[in-house]
Structure 1
């Protein structure tokens, strides 16, 4: 056979193969799009003008917690020490090198319109402030709870919403190394969440511990605790996470959230294991879901918040490694869609760390690492799912 003819036949065959492949890909895309359009999920638009600018040349450091009270006032907590003192805090230098900037107080309160209405926090003679504050949540009596994940943080602080100190739970003084069976000390608690009907506080304990601990929300009295799958917690060091290995029978630090739902379940962020485990409130294991299970390092399941409908139909999962928020059917644990991506523009994230919802269904996120901000995502109702990941949910449907 003539060499040129063989070449021509080869080109034709290759073209047919490519065409068939493209056609199949198009069919697959259409099938995927059709499947996505068959589902519905909450829709959001980022509000790029919320909150309003801070006064006094204030800056936020790594913003490590967010909570919403009964008035839809939004509270955040950040780490002042994480602001770069060498370049960003010229106003605090001695002598000042510029008019800007200063570290904001640790706790900031915003009204629903994004106005700053109060600020407070930090060390005091009345209590031991955590070496590394971590998480701020609002209980059913509008009190604020703050954890700490510093190397020696073994307690939780409780304040009124105007910053009045109320209580400290867990011994903050130096003592025996805490473990996941201690009933007097926590081990670098990440977050506290609440069961209003039972008047209980659920502690994700946390960065040193490997458990969920439950307290009386009024007195701080220790009530019960458990580990992964309802097992007794075990602090034995574990192998590095391997997505292809059998699932670990213990939580891997950090245990980053433990949020009870209205129907008597508790959703636990086993962050570095890329999973959320579901329990009954007595610690009985129910189910689990793996999210982005090939995520290494800091893991994918950083925090959860529930939609505000009576059934809490949806759960929002913050993923600070992949820089997005997943929208999940809370009961089936099916991931419906996600929004966000890595970036600094509104609607994108750098280390989305904590998440909360208000009574209108809006979502608030805070960012650690170099994100150092809070964002508001305005609830736009439930609509057809258009993409597996929506990217930045810009106003007016722009992307």
Structure 2
């Protein structure tokens, strides 16, 4: 499937207060936290939030036996279903993890929803201006704030984990230091922000921490190195490299944090080492790279040397299957979250290694 926008081959707003579980009226159709036991039967309960559904699924259990297979991850857990209620999603497009491993999800309703590491719904807030388009692109910054990109408003917002707006920046335009349809953001440990853009101008910029100047700009529309065709997700590796999901070029480009080109990998296709519209990328402490492919509806995992370790998933709606995944996030235990957009859910892949053996660098944000 080809994403919309890919070729074939302001003033500060008053953001609405966050909504918390105690603010919600009880709804009979809210589903609680469900767990599949050893007999693969479901036990459910309404949590305090009473809004989300998280299925804990061991690989090889139930009617979807064999749908999820991985050497890196032991099982998959499914969060959410389609709808507008708390804990439900409409085409989730971006996710982020904070310092406490809480999950944030933005979807096509213009909401940002927050969940604890066990999948319990905590709160939400609404982006008030969505007439031009919905938010897309999230990260956690060096101060622990949640960063949300608004492509159609050419601006970037920083919220507290409780949903209070603390800063907003971005001036529309194609000149250096301006923003034109930003798609993704990554924030380094020093507070500098990396932003990808497409349509009017194809580029990646690095802004200094005070956003008053640009430290580098890699700009150009095309297929050569240092050129982009709808740059999407960004990830900073522990080695100090910036990974860019160059989606409509079906590849990932890697740069140093000064903007110097390092390498590229991938080409159009569905075989190992090939991509179909890679939309996001994450790099863990061991240098493993995780890439979600919008077109192939799967994940590709590579080792620190760039060799493919495995392909995870296939098109479908069973646990461990995907339908146009948009976004990835890693928590402190090495668990991988996937915004499974067209399935209107988030999937959590549980890392096999013990937690003490897995350290995920904060610089990925």
- State TM-score, norm by structure 1: 0.65
Q: Which of residues 107, 112, 115 in structure 2 aligns to 1:110? A: 115
Secondary structure at the counterpart of residue 338 of structure 1? strand
Superposed displacement of residue 67, structure 1:
0.5
1:380 has 2:352 as partner: yes
State the 1:107 CA deviation: 0.4
Contact 2:86 2:121 in 1 (8 A): no
103, 107, 110: which one pairs with 1:74?
A: 103
SS at match of 1:381: coil
Which structure features the higher share of helix residues? 1
Superposed counterparts of 1:7-46, under 5 Å? 42-46=72-76
**Is residue 2:247 matched to residue 1:271?**
yes
- CA distance in 2: counterparts of 1:323 and 1:133, whole angstroms: 22
TM-aligned CA deviation for residue 220 of structure 1? 2.4
Q: Is the 8 A contact 1:45 1:378 kept in 2?
A: yes
Give the match's secondary structure for 2:148: strand
Whole-Å Cα distance in 1 between the matches of residues 120 and 144 of structure 2? 19
Judge conservation of contact 1:147–1:188 (CA < 8 Å) in 2. no
Please name the residue that 1:158 is paired with: 158
Aligned alpha-carbon RMSD (Å): 2.7
Shift in CA distance, 333/341, structure 1 to aligned 2, threshold 3 Å: same
Report the 3-state secondary structure (helix = DSSP H, G, I; strand = E; otherwise coil) of the residue aligned with 1:345. Answer: coil
User: Cα distance, 1:149 vs. partner?
Assistant: 3.0
Q: 2:335 aligns with which of 349, 362, 379?
A: 362
Equivalent residue for 1:148, pick from 146, 150, 165: 150
Is residue 218 of structure 2 the alignment partner of residue 189 of structure 1? no
Match of 1:257 in 2: 233
Pick closer, same or farther for the CA change 1:58–1:259 going to 2, 3 Å. Answer: closer
Superposition deviation, residue 168 in structure 1? 1.5
Which of 259, 265, 283 matches 1:306?
283
Compared with structure 1, are the counterparts of its residues 57 and 255 closer, same or farther at alpha carbon in structure 2 (3 Å cutoff)? closer
Check the 8 A contact 1:208/1:253 in 2, yes or no: no
Q: Please name the residue that 1:337 is paired with.
A: 310
Whole-Å Cα distance in 2 between the matches of residues 207 and 375 of structure 1? 30
Q: Contact (CA 8 Å) 2:187, 2:194: kept in 1 or not?
A: yes
Q: Which residue of 2 aligns with 1:91?
A: none
Q: Per-residue CA shift, 1:347-388, capped at 9, x if unaligned?
A: 1111101001111111100023x3221111111139xxxxxx
Deviations 1:165-186, CA, capped at 9 Å, x for gaps: 11221126xxxxx22x332x21
Give ranges in structure 1 of 5+ residues lacking alignment. Answer: 1-39, 81-104, 173-177, 228-232, 239-246, 383-399
Kindly name which structure, 1 or 2, has the bigger radius of gyration based on alpha carbons.
1
2:139 is aligned with 1:137 = yes
CA contact (8 A) 1:210 1:250 kept: no
| Alpha-carbon distance change, 248 to 323 in structure 1, aligned in 2, over 3 angstroms | same
Query: CA 1:234/1:63 → structure 2, altered by over 3 Å: closer, same or farther?
Result: same
Q: How many residues align?
A: 282
Whole-angstrom CA distance in 2 between matches of 1:168 and 1:44: 40
1:106 and 1:210, CA in 2 relative to 1: closer, same or farther beyond 3 A?
same
Separation (CA, whole Å) in 2 of partners of 1:277 and 1:265: 10
Tell me what 1:19 maps to: none
Secondary structure of the corresponding residue to residue 347 of structure 1: coil
Shift of 1:250: 5.0
CA distance, structure 2, for counterparts of residue 380 and residue 144 of structure 1: 28
Q: Secondary structure at the match of 1:268?
A: strand
Segments of structure 2 that go 5 or more residues without pairing to the other structure are: 1-69, 355-365
